[in-house]
Amino acid sequence: NAGVTQTPKFRVLKTGQSMTLLCAQDMNHEYMYWYRQDPGMGLRLIHYSVGEGTTAKGEVPDGYNVSRLKKQNFLLGLESAAPSQTSVYFCASSSIQGSFYEQYFGPGTRLTVT
16 or 107: whose CB is closer to another protein? 107
106 near another protein (CB under 8 A): yes
Tell me: does residue 50 bind another protein (CB under 8 A).
Answer: yes
**Binding of another protein at residue 53 (CB under 8 A)?**
no
Assess 98 for contact with another protein (CB under 8 A).
Answer: no
Would you say 40 or 62 has its CB closer to another protein? Answer: 40
Question: How remote is the C-alpha of 12 from its chain's centroid?
Answer: 17
Q: What is the DSSP string of 60-88?
A: S-TT-EEE-SSTTEEEEEESS--GGG-EE
Name the one range near another protein by CB under 8 A: 14-22, 48-56, 66-74, 76-84: 48-56
Half-sphere exposure (Cβ direction) of 78: Cα atoms closer than 13 Å: 25
Let me know: does 113 contact 11? Beta carbons within 8 Å: no
